[in-house]
Chain A
């Protein structure tokens, strides 16, 4: 049987561990005057990349191994972020502008008299953490169960996942949602008693994100190397064939989709304290598609590649938007075209094909020959 940690996994986990050790040392131990010192804002920036990498791993679990191109994973990310944001809002307590001990500022501003019921419990970290998993998980479970049971596949599924995140974006923009409307949730003070602005907290949450990424990777990897993962790949390549073997693809897909959504939720929850705000813009359909390109760049169906792609693309974004703001969208657009046309297996996939074993590369998503079109979900006979 396939090993849980293969060569690329070992390289990935070692690099991640090294990164998670080096960053705190360079930030906390190396004195500020030194050329080697890492400013705290960079620590948060790197932490943001790692949160994105976790999102990419979660997306790769469903896209790379199950053929579900979700254009709505940003929604699960944002929901996890909102759950964390709600906890952080409750932690502000009476330190808000209006000084209301219970109601967050925006509620006082909007003349709320009492806390809406769905805010109950968010003053407890454990409850909020549970919601970070449950809310995206439940949505994905319902959505996936409905869609997969009725055999909505391929682009139809992609389009309705996009419609889902779009609908959520519109909903969260409403002030009546009781979640801050347009402005979202911000002005966070502390998390579990740590000041979210402090240097120590920034380093701590960076390391926490790195650990979460490692765990996310290991969970996804464990799933994909088990018999479950093999069936998932079988479903990806020939869904109707698995049915005639007696498998119910909807169960397998729903499970993968739900786990993936929870992982995305955790990524969102770790992202919010590092950027200090969550607003409905996170639901924008463009964000979800951008996450897809991270996975495509790194190589879908490799997990490691997804994480790598997220970091590379976002690093490029940081550099380019700083240097030439106009060029970024050109570059991103070109990236979509170039990767799909010339590097369909992504960086890691291409490396595996070149240097790895033929067998390992075989489990990558097939690269369909350029041939008769409209083959979309035409498996089976």
Chain B
């Protein structure tokens, strides 16, 4: 290794790499030492062919023509010239360039450097990151060469960071150089950067120690903010799930005043509809699988909506004005629906697949964002806005509001109130079914699926203010974010308990929720 290092320093100290000994000639040379020097030289040269040549060498496919010491590579397609890649004549006199363990080790060590000059920017970046992690001083010359040629800003930054990391880890780096390197590490701003700066705690130079401490503080702040942002994101994600679950209830409970304890089962029916749609697609038309969720949405809406209309017609309509009785009767309905699904599909979880667009994640300024959550947030917002549109802008919405505000007057105006009741309840239930499509992606599809959401949904609607859709939105997002912000400190279960207690106390203070309607009628 020392030999290699010495060699690299030699190379580095040379005025220009191009003027050093030709690595091709060295590789074609006789002794292992010469070949090893050739490997290092080639790796540091920034030659785009270096990768191919070195991997051929390690596989024993690098050949030398004894006559003119030309290097050739044996590929599946035939013999090519190592330097140019042009096809060449096969020749029985060709001899493989031999490699001993030391040469192999040099090849391995050079692999990272080779990638630094790869044609693929992603590879180059990967290599820079590898150097950053390894902090191998041997990579410094290659890094410098690559840095000089690099055009891609992101890759260049990664390389600068890697170089700074190597310099800071390497013994004997000058104070000024260290001080110059610290800001580059600080700019990186993650846990690794902090590790490197922590390592400078014992640095002999006071200036370096102070700079490192400042850097650590800056990174800590950044990480704290980033962590909070990440939690806010998780919170929004949880909030959107709560919103999805509660939004149908915002109609049946919020607008109509019906306590539907079977609301969770509507969500569950939506999830099972998704399962059935996927099963049908799997057996009949597998090509449609990426579209399975889109197809499930209208199906789930119809299934849950239809069941909702049936419940309204056969149970709830006899109980208007008797909210506590409605609560009990719909709880009974929820038990029947659960048991029915359990009898048909069995008590175990059903597998609902995720189309490709739902999986994976991407990095957004240091935040990790999964596509599945992203889509669910967008979807919940779309459902929310769609519902708002239906209630505010359509004639059906107008009738619904008329009936819920003054039933007798609406009837006198010629609105068929029972019809509106049934359809409004169907709409609320159908939306719960749609929520089930989304929730099938993040929760277990089992007969108990709905049970997990019913209490939360009611609390969201009550917290937001009954009859106020925007209140439901704000309540869902607030509860989601608060829950996720509290979780790191007190744990998931306690956060949930705390939230429940908070809402119980909140309802004491404002029994009508966040955004209550005011007026004489409401006060009585």
In the complex, A touching B, CB below 8 Å? yes
B-chain residues with CB within 8 Å of residue A160 when the two chains form the complex: 503-504, 507
- Whether the pair A163, B511 counts as a contact (CB closer than 8 A) is no
Find out whether the CB atom of B505 lies under 8 angstroms from the CB atom of A146: yes
* Bound CA span A343–B380, Å: 41
CA distance A372 to B505 in the complex (A): 31
Q: Mark B17-50, 1 if CB is under 8 A from A, else 0.
A: 0000000000000000000000000000000000
Chain B residues with Cβ under 8 A from A252's Cβ?
Answer: none
Tell me the interface secondary structure of chain A in the complex. helix
- B111 adjacent to chain A (CB < 8 Å): no
* B348 CB → nearest A CB, Å: 15
A315 within 8 A of partner (CB): no
A154 and B511 CA atoms in complex are apart in Å by: 11
- Chain A residues contacting B442 (CB-CB under 8 Å) are none
Interchain CB contact under 8 A, B328 and A296: yes
- Segment at the interface with A among B73-81, B331-339, B471-479: B331-339
Given contacts A150-B509, A340-B319, A368-B322, contact A285 B336 (CB under 8 A): no
Given contacts A332-B332, A374-B257, contact A156 B511 (CB under 8 A): yes
Q: Tell me whether B493 and A174 are in contact (CB under 8 A).
A: yes
Task: Given A173-B493, A368-B321, A372-B321, answer yes or no on A147-B508 (Cβ-Cβ < 8 Å).
Answer: yes
CB of A155 within 8 A of CB of B524, answer no
Query: From residue 214 to 240 of chain A, which have CB atoms closer than 8 A to chain B?
Result: 240
- Interface membership of A380, Cβ < 8 A: yes
- Cβ-closest chain A residue relative to B509: A150
Please give me the residue from chain B that is nearest to A376 by CB atom: B323
What 1/0 mask marks residues of chain A from 321 to 356 whose CB sits below 8 Å from any chain B CB? 000001001101111110111001000000000000
Name the segment of A48-56, A124-132, A164-172 touching the other chain.
A164-172
Contact-residue bracket for chain A = 35 or more
The answer to whether B501 and A167 touch across the interface, beta carbons within 8 angstroms, is yes
- Count A/B pairs, Cβ under 8 Å: 149
| Closest chain A residue to B455, Cβ basis | A166
Chain B residues with CB under 8 Å of A340's CB are 319, 325-326, 328-329, 332
- A376 and B257 contacting across the interface, CB-CB below 8 Å: yes
Interface string of B489-508 (1 = CB under 8 A from A): 00001101100110111011
Q: Give min CB distance, A361 to chain B, whole Å.
A: 19
Distance between Cα atoms of A171 and B507 in the complex (Å): 21
Once the chains bind, are A167 and B500 in contact (CB under 8 Å)? Answer: yes
Chain A residues within an 8 Å CB radius of B408: 372
**A371 to chain B: closest residue by CB:** B321
B335-357 interface mask toward A, CB cutoff 8 Å, 1 = contact, 0 = none? 11111101100000000000000
Known: A163-B500, A170-B493. A329 touches B339 (CB 8 A): yes
B496 — nearest CB in chain A belongs to which residue? A170
B331 near A329: Cβ-Cβ < 8 Å: no
Bound: A151/B510 CA distance, A: 10
Check A379–B524 contact: CB distance below 8 A: yes
Q: Does B193 contact A (CB under 8 A)?
A: no
Q: Cα distance A371–B321 when bound, in Å? A: 6
- Residues 81-102 of chain A, each 1 if its beta carbon lies under 8 Å from chain B, else 0: 0000000000000000000000
Q: Indicate whether A370 sits within 8 Å of B318 (C-beta atoms), given known contacts A170-B496, A340-B325.
A: yes
Q: Which residue of A lies closest to B513 (CB)?
A: A156
Taking a contact as CB atoms under 8 Å apart, the answer to whether B329 and A337 are in contact is: yes
Report the bound CA distance from A166 to B457 in whole Å: 13
Please, which residues of chain B bring their CB within 8 A of the CB of A374? 257, 321, 404
Chain B residues whose C-beta falls within 8 Å of the C-beta of A337 in the assembled complex: 315, 329, 332-333, 336
What residues of B have a CB within 8 angstroms of the CB of A368 in the complex? 321-322
CB distance from A176 to the nearest CB of B (A): 9
Contact of B338 among A150, A155, A329, A335 (CB under 8 A): A329
Q: In the complex, which of the residues B331, B455, B509 has the most CB atoms of chain A within 10 Å of its own CB atom?
A: B331
A375 to B319, CA, bound (A): 11
Give complex CA distance A249, B52 in Å. Answer: 88
Q: Tell me, rounded to whole Å, the shortest Cβ–Cβ distance linking A333 to chain B.
A: 3
Contacts of B340 on A, CB cut-off 8 Å? 330
Q: Report the separation of the CA atoms of residues A143 and B333 in the bound assembly, to the nearest whole angstrom.
A: 29
Q: Does B384 contact A (CB under 8 A)?
A: no
Least Cβ distance of B9 to chain A in Å?
57
Q: What are 23 inter-chain pairs, A to B, with CB distance below 8 A?
A: A69-B327, A143-B504, A147-B507, A150-B511, A158-B259, A159-B455, A159-B458, A159-B462, A164-B500, A171-B493, A240-B524, A293-B328, A326-B339, A329-B335, A329-B336, A332-B332, A333-B332, A333-B335, A337-B329, A337-B332, A341-B319, A369-B321, A374-B321
Q: Which residues of A contact B (CB under 8 A)?
A: 69, 143, 146-147, 149-152, 154-156, 158-160, 162-164, 166-167, 170-171, 173-174, 240, 285-286, 289, 292-293, 296, 326, 329-330, 332-337, 339-341, 344, 368-376, 378-381
